[in-house]
Structure 1
Amino acid sequence: MSIAPTVQTFLDRQHVPYRLLHHTYAETMMSSAIAAQLPARQVAKGVVLKDEEGFVMAVVPSDRMVDIDAINRSMNRLLEPASQQDVKILFRDCDHGAVPSLGQAYNMPVIWEDALASEEDCYFECGDHTDLIRLDRSSFQHLMHDYPHGAISH
């Protein structure tokens, strides 16, 4: 599959330069980091959360866990993890479980971990289990500058 059409269209419309990095098949973002021989702190995972207001994507380094309490305090919401069925419907142009960390491409609000801003490069799932999108720091910050951020993982 390579890059999901929704992600490619979004990046092209944002005029953001990116590169694809191919790796062996990996089910999780941590496994993708290992397969691509990248520091896990540079590989971002997107975790879809939900409440009665709708969905939110939390973007954190793959070696960390989302701190839902911190996100709820920051956003003044009562979010919890979305169901796999919800995720499958939201990301229908992606392989099952290969959620791109660009919720904004899918019209989803995003909150992201501050630690990602200090990385020289950031890597995202692109919709399959064998490729990652590489963004440099300025491209990452361009895509995330309108979204809330903070210490949302541990």
Structure 2
Amino acid sequence: MPAKKLKAFLDEKDIKYVVIKHSSAFTAQEIAASTHVSGKEFAKTVMIKIDGKMAMAVLPASFQVDFNLLQEIFGTRKVSLASEAEFKYFFPDCELGAMPPFGNLYDLGVYVSETMAEDKMIAFNAGTHTEMIKLEYKDFERLVQPRVFKFSWKTVSIPGDPSERWELDY
């Protein structure tokens, strides 16, 4: 069952959404592949610390956070990845690492990669490692009111070249 707080919130706001059950998966890429959802449409929630304050970075499953860009965006000296030990208490109704990108339900700021905001739909962990929720991005944006920035990059393979290159999402 999806996180009770999230399900109650979506139902209360009369949001149309679909819960999709899948085999147990622990990475956003695995979930996207097993549910046949594009890696660009499946949102992974990365817990970050901005000068020690916890927040959510939401980006496509196939992308990575560019911490240098986030430091520039926030004009701060330190943006870093939070450890599970640091954030697990924020999400008592979720399995560790399966938190949905609804920071507003957990008193956390939410920052969405511009690439993620370009899609019509958004899919994400529903609080468990065996369920995801899919809904319209415009509903997610209206409910969460995230700040949208360019802060992620993707690994791109060059045809005929076994090496990889990194590419910013803008």
CA contact (8 A) 1:66 1:153 kept: yes
Gaps of 5+ in 2: 154-170
Could you tell me the TM-score, scaled by structure 1's length?
A: 0.89
Q: Is the 8 A contact 1:20 1:131 kept in 2?
A: yes
Helix, strand or coil for the counterpart of 2:63?
Answer: coil
Secondary structure of 1:41's counterpart equals: coil
TM-score (norm 2): 0.81
Counterpart Cα distance in 1 of 2:12 and 2:68: 34
User: Larger Cα Rg: Structure 1 or Structure 2?
Assistant: 2
Between Structure 1 and Structure 2, the one with more strand by share is 2
- Superposition pairs for residues 1-154 of structure 1, below 5 Å? 2-52=1-51, 54-77=53-76, 78-144=78-144, 146-154=145-153
What CA deviation, in whole Å up to 9, does each residue of 1:52-89 have, x standing for no partner?
Answer: 45211000000000111212221233221111112211
Say which structure is richer in helix: 1
Query: What amino acid sits opposite 2:54 in the alignment?
Result: F
**Alignment RMSD (CA, Å):** 1.7
Is the contact made by 1:24 and 1:36 (CA closer than 8 Å) also made in structure 2? no
Residues 23 and 131, structure 1, Cα contact 8 Å, conserved in 2:
yes
Query: Matched residues, percent identical?
Result: 27
Q: Label 1:63 to 1:12 Cα distance change in 2 as closer, same or farther (>3 A).
A: same
SS of the counterpart of 2:141? Answer: helix
Tell me the number of residue pairs that the alignment of Structure 1 and Structure 2 aligns.
152
Q: Tell me how far 1:100 sits from its aligned partner.
A: 1.3
Q: Distance in 1 between matches of 2:71 and 2:143?
A: 22
